[in-house]
Amino acid sequence: MDTLFQALHFDQNGLIPVVVQDWKDGQILMMAWMNREALEKTLKGPHVTYWSRSRKKIWVKGEESGHTQGLKELRVDCDGDTLLIKVDQKKAACHEGFRSCFFRRSDGSSLTVTEKKMFDPQKTYPRGGKI
């Protein structure tokens, strides 16, 4: 684990961006942040853990919804300042009810929803899906 952390370059806030990809089909599910503690917890398992910038705390993906992520593979980019993790996603990654947080496509002037909702955030989260 020391070799991994020596290769990483966390930002001035102690964070590193993480691109999250489905390990089976390659779909990009979300982008999040990790600090050292979140990465250590992720590597120990069983669920992927992030740093929530809005809540300013460690956050286990799926702790409220049950839509957890299991780590399948971790990759480090050439500069050591971004992680790519491949996960086994349970149900959906997006708190708005979609499988991916990237459910909107832009044509330059408007946004089109490209996925169907997999669940109702109002029924799944105590705050109705609001972060």
The pLDDT value given to residue 126? 72
First and final CA of the chain: distance in angstroms?
32
- 87 assigned to some structural domain: yes
User: ω into residue 121 within 30 of 0, thus cis?
Assistant: no
- 126 assigned to some structural domain: no
Query: Per residue in 37-78, pLDDT tens?
Result: 999 999 999 999 999 999 999 999 999 899 999 999 999 999
pTM: 0.91
Query: pLDDT confidence of 130, banded at 50, 70, 90?
Result: low
Quote the CA–CA distance of 62 and 16 in Å, as a whole number.
20
Q: Does residue 129 have a pLDDT over 90?
A: no
- In the chain, the amino acid numbered 68 is T
| pLDDT average, residue stretch 5-20 | 98
- 116 assigned to some structural domain: no
Question: Do residues 84 and 75 make contact, with C-beta atoms less than 8 angstroms apart?
Answer: yes
- 114 assigned to some structural domain: no
Q: Does residue 128 have a pLDDT over 60?
A: no
CATH number for the domain harbouring residue 58: 3.10.20.810
Percent of the chain scoring above 70 in pLDDT? 96
- 7 assigned to some structural domain: yes
- 101 assigned to some structural domain: no
CB 49: neighbour CB atoms within 10 A?
Answer: 23
**Structural domain of 20:** 2-94
- 127 assigned to some structural domain: no
Count the domains in the chain. Answer: 1
Query: Per residue in 23-36, pLDDT tens?
Result: 999 999 999 999 99
Q: What is the mean pLDDT of the chain?
A: 94
Quote the CA–CA distance of 9 and 106 in Å, as a whole number.
32
